[in-house]
């Protein structure tokens, strides 16, 4: 749900303008979302104050039209908009007696999809006057809070002089999914205040999803031709890290939790998590999904907002719409008659002619690790195969140089050289994507 729709529904609920089924559904969402409930409470309080100021009775479930209602509604809209803007700004910062945190996107809140976006953390140690530091602990996949507390108590010469905390996250994706995650960056000590640039890939996802294939490296508003980067930073067989893989608005909600000591009073603590949030808008062009074949379908995504089209991330996204997991390869050199080294082709249309098939550049230093072989793709999940627009050529020219290039599409194609006919999970075939309308050549 976008912000305008959410604000309209909350305002309508406050003013008693929703039908009962819609109101009931919204109240259920309010009960499940503390931040949304806080917005509703603030607006309801403002609405009551406005009614009292105008000397009118409180709202009831019965609609009554008065001559002053349009004026009141106009005034309420102004108040509502101001309150919501303030509430959203306030969510970017919070503090308690132990620690404070403010977060914001590094640079512009709009970042090209698939690039190396980051968040700025501004920490405040609010117990510095007591000589106590705040420790931002690394939360591993198998690490419990109790184990962290025990390790901290044993490792520190004076454990009472450091208050450990951990950071968890909920990633609200553009498609409505809520993805649990945790900050797995290196431990940080906050003596007084500290500002940290935290890349989004420092968050490890606590949800099962197939890893992306990264044919290169995400950079600052660009995609870099560095095929070794993924092996060291985001290997397919390692923890699943956060990558901006959907175009649209992401809300990154962070919860700072206190680590309770093994013995009461061992170090300063706080009961309620500190909650802050910020937004990152991933920009790009997204094609329609192509036709489904054997439970799989594909679409094409091209990042926008990069310095130039040559350095824009370009991804084929594969979605399993079937009822069981599938396996396939996405890159490699094989005897099978499929595109190589990437198992997908780009098709560019120029003028009124038929789309022409582009070929990968001859000098690409593609590194093909074992970790990308036959990865299991669960039902309902989407996997991104990310490369760079500059990797492909038509008659020696890249997309930036192709005069008259109007649209771009892709086709994923995989066939195994040898296979077990009883392997129900093996997927083979072709998946064409929808076409993207390319920007004019002068804007590439």
Domain 93-283 -> CATH class: mainly beta
Domain boundaries defined on the chain: 3-90, 93-283, 287-443
Q: Where are the beta strands (DSSP E) in 186-260?
A: 188-190, 193-199, 203-205, 213-214, 217-219, 222-224, 248-258
pTM equals: 0.78
Q: Which of 98, 106, 121, 113 is nearest to 254 (CA)?
A: 121
Residue 152 scores a pLDDT above 60: yes
Q: What is the pLDDT of residues 257-276, one digit of tens each?
A: 999 988 888 899 999 999 99
Q: What is the pLDDT of residues 392-425, one digit of tens each?
A: 999 999 988 886 778 999 999 999 988 888 999 9
What pLDDT, on the 0 to 100 scale, is given for residue 129? 95
Q: Which of 74, 117, 121 is nearest to 93 (CA)?
A: 121
Q: What is the pLDDT of residues 320-335, one digit of tens each?
A: 999 999 999 999 888 8
Q: Which of 73, 444, 412 is nearest to 285 (CA)?
A: 444
- Averaged pLDDT score across all residues of the chain: 85
Q: Which of 176, 148, 180, 141 is nearest to 164 (CA)?
A: 148
As a whole-number percent, the residues of the chain with pLDDT over 70 amount to 82
Compute the average pLDDT of residues 102-131.
Answer: 96
- Higher per-residue pLDDT: 443 or 91: 91
What pLDDT, on the 0 to 100 scale, is given for residue 72? 55
What are 135's two structure tokens?
């420790």
Please tell me if the domain spanning 93-283 has the same topology as the one spanning 287-443: yes
As a whole-number percent, the residues of the chain with pLDDT over 90 amount to 56
CB 382 within 8 A of CB 317: yes
Q: What is the pLDDT of residues 375-386, one digit of tens each?
A: 999 999 999 999
- Higher per-residue pLDDT: 178 or 373: 178
* Residue 159, phi-psi category: left (phi > 0), alpha (psi -120 to 50), beta (remainder): alpha
Query: Which class for 335: exposed (0-12), middle (13-18), buried (19 or more C-beta within 10 A)?
Result: exposed
Q: What is the pLDDT of residues 47-83, one digit of tens each?
A: 666 666 555 555 554 445 455 555 555 555 555 555 5
Paired strand residues for 122:
102, 195
Q: Evaluate the omega torsion of the peptide bond into residue 341 and state whether it is cis, within 30 degrees of 0.
A: yes
287-443 carries CATH number 3.40.50.1000? no
Q: How far is CA 320 from the centre of its chain?
A: 20
Q: What is the pLDDT of residues 197-216, one digit of tens each?
A: 999 999 999 888 899 999 99
What pLDDT, on the 0 to 100 scale, is given for residue 87? 47
CB 287 within 8 A of CB 301: yes
Compute the average pLDDT of residues 172-184.
Answer: 94
328: helix, coil or strand?
Answer: coil
Distance, in Å, from the CA atom of 138 to the CA atom of 135, rounded to the nearest integer, reads: 9
What pLDDT, on the 0 to 100 scale, is given for residue 187? 82
With a CB cutoff of 8 Å and minimum separation 6, the contacts of 126 are: 95, 96, 97, 98, 99, 100
Compute the average pLDDT of residues 147-166.
Answer: 76
Q: What is the pLDDT of residues 422-444, one digit of tens each?
A: 999 999 999 999 999 987 765 55
What pLDDT, on the 0 to 100 scale, is given for residue 299? 98
């Amino acid at each position: 749900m976008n912000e305008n729709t959410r604000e309209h529904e909350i305002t309508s609920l406050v003013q008693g303008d929703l039908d009962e089924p819609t109101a009931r559904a919204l109240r259920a969402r309010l009960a499940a979302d503390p931040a949304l409930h806080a917005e509703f409470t603030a607006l309801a309080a403002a609405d009551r104050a406005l009614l009292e100021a105008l000397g009118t009775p409180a709202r009831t479930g019965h609609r009554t039209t008065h001559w002053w209602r349009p004026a009141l509604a106009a005034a309420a809209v102004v108040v509502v908009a101001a309150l919501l803007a303030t509430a959203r700004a306030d969510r970017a910062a919070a503090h308690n007696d132990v620690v404070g945190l403010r977060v914001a996107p590094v640079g512009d809140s709009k970042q090209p999809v698939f690039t190396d976006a980051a968040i700025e953390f501004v920490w405040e140690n609010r117990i510095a006057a007591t000589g106590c530091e705040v420790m931002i602990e690394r939360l591993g996949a198998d690490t419990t809070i109790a184990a962290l507390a025990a390790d901290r108590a044993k490792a520190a010469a004076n454990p009472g002089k450091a208050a450990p905390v951990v950071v968890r996250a909920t990633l609200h994706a553009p498609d409505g999914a809520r993805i649990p995650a945790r900050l797995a960056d290196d431990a940080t000590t906050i003596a007084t205040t500290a500002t940290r640039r935290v890349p989004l890939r420092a968050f490890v996802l606590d949800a099962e999803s197939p890893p992306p294939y990264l044919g290169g490296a995400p950079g600052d508003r660009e995609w870099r031709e560095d095929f070794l980067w993924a092996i060291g930073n985001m290997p397919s067989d390692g923890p699943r890290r956060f990558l901006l893989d959907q175009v649209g608005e992401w809300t990154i909600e962070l919860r700072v939790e206190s680590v309770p000591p093994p013995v009461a009073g061992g170090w300063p603590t706080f009961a309620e998590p500190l909650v802050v949030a910020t937004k990152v808008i991933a920009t790009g062009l997204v094609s329609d999904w192509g036709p489904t074949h054997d439970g799989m379908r594909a679409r094409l995504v091209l990042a926008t907002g990069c310095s130039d089209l040559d350095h824009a991330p370009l991804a084929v996204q594969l979605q399993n719409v079937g009822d069981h997991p599938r396996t396939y390869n996405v890159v490699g050199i094989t005897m099978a008659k499929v595109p190589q080294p990437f198992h997908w082709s780009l098709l560019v249309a120029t003028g009124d002619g038929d789309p022409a098939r582009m070929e990968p550049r001859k000098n690409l230093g593609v590194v093909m690790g074992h970790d990308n072989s036959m990865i299991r793709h669960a039902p309902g999940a989407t996997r991104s195969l990310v490369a760079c627009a500059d990797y492909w050529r038509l008659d020696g020219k890249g997309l930036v140089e192709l005069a008259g290039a109007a649209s771009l599409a892709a086709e994923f194609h995989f066939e195994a050289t040898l296979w077990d006919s009883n392997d129900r999970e093996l997927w083979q075939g072709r998946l064409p994507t929808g076409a993207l309308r390319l920007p004019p050549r002068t804007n590439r």
